[in-house]
Amino acid sequence: MSQLRLAHIGLLMAAIGLTTIPTVIGLTSVAHAQALRPEVGKPLQEAQALIKSKKYKEALNKIRETDSIGGKTANEVNTIERLRGFAAQQAGDNMTAARAYESIVQSGKASGSEQLKMIQAVGTAYYNARDYKKAGEWFSRYLKEGGDDPQIRTLVTQTQFLSGDYAKVASETKAAVQSAEKTGRRPSEEQLQMLANSASKTGDKNTYVYAMEKLVTYYPKKDYWVDLLNRVQGKPGFSDRLSLDVLRLRFALGQIQSTTDYLELSQLAIQAGVPAEAIKVIDQGFKNGALGTGPSGERHQALRKLANTKLAEQQRDLAQTEKDAQANADGTALVNLGYALVTMGQNDKGLDLINQGLKKGGFKRADDTKLRAGEGMLLAGRKQQAVQTLRSVQGKDGTADIARFWILQSNHS
């Protein structure tokens, strides 16, 4: 973990009362330094000069000469520890800095905003020293006592994570995400990444998918989509029968790249009775070289031929297929046929059958059918109607997940 840069959380010299290091704390300025004794003032004066020359380790050694001096006043101790804390932090001796700033806080010599800055300084020093438990305690104290630096809130969560308290981080971060959304604010990308990482550490697949879904909602990067679709299939209760829908979504997102993916998607589409969709996938595979080359090239040609044969048969039998679908007691066949027609480019006719099917109802798998209807509407360019239909999908078997993902994809396409 790299050290936090001081400027990032305001720990400049001004933040700890060192806008100007005590001016020449020597024998001639004892009065101005609130009566520091010469034996204290002289080594501090020399340490000050070393600090100005950026010789921080040498400055620390000089400050340590005051440790053996007895009978130091509260003011002398306060001045020593301020100088020690700053020099130590600049030298990378974070534990010494933490102890120095902590002693100032405990002494009560600082008050108000200065006290808060000191508390912040203690937390930062412990953080840089990788004592994340201590850092979290001091950052939490900073917030509790009225500190309002938003980065410190993030650091509290980070320290909990680095301390291994993943369940607490996940719980608190999820609550923060939900709170942000309720007030119309967008959760930060870092916040959502922290939620995903914490859920991953605890093995909470549902929360992990929730975090990734929020990431693609607000920060729709390709890597997030890939991770989300890979992980959602591992959610408890996610049905294998939705493999085709996942592949369709990946195809729409431009994630189908491998020969295996092209073959699986096209074969499943043929089996589902949508050969026109399979042909579109196969043609793209041939175009980019994923299909039609190598020792399996002839097999790919045979698959293409099969898809075209199935499409010809489907087109030949459309009238009878529609008649049979109209005669069915439920509207599933009408929706499926409508979807197939949309993949053929017959949008108006396809949408008409989809709507007839939805109106007829009586579905054995209502969520599956509504999902198919929504996919067909999106494919036909009817986004508003599609979103309304997809929002009605409530299945706990993955159908509702896929429906939401299609809505997200449509918002960013």
Which of 35 and 126 is assigned the larger pLDDT? 126
Q: Domain spanning 6-162 has what CATH number?
A: 1.25.40.10
Average pLDDT of the residues in 85-100: 94
Q: What are phi and psi of 18, to 5 degrees?
A: -120, 40
Checking if the pLDDT of 168 tops 80, the result is: yes
Q: Measuring CA to CA, how many Å separate 26 from each of 86, 223, 279, 363?
A: 20, 61, 88, 91
Query: Comparing 24-28, 81-85, 147-151, which segment has the lowest mean pLDDT?
Result: 24-28
- The rounded percent of the chain whose pLDDT value lies above 90 is 78
Query: What pLDDT score does 21 carry?
Result: 29
The per-residue pLDDT of the chain, averaged, comes to 89
CA quadruple 93, 98, 101, 102: dihedral, nearest 10: -150
**Model confidence at 34, in pLDDT bands (50, 70, 90)?**
low
pLDDT at 315: 97
Q: Choose the weakest-confidence range: 58-62, 162-166, 344-348.
A: 162-166
pLDDT score, position 382: 97
Instruction: Report whether pLDDT(9) > 50.
Output: no
**What single-letter DSSP state applies at residue 235?**
S
pLDDT of residue 61: 95
Percent of the chain with pLDDT over 70: 92
pLDDT in tens, 219-274: 999 999 999 999 999 888 999 999 999 999 999 999 999 999 999 999 999 999 99
Q: What CATH number should be reported for the domain whose range is 245-412?
A: 1.25.40.10
Evaluate if residue 22 carries a pLDDT over 80.
no
The 3-state DSSP class for residue 301 equals helix
Q: What is the mean pLDDT of residues 52-70?
A: 94
Name the token pair of 19.
Answer: 């806008």
List, for residues 357-381, the tens digit of each pLDDT value: 999 999 999 999 999 999 999 999 9
At 158 the pLDDT is: 85
pLDDT at 343: 98
Contact 48, 25 (CB under 8 A): yes
- Band of pLDDT at residue 36, cut at 50, 70 and 90: confident
- Mean pLDDT calculated for residue range 102-130: 89
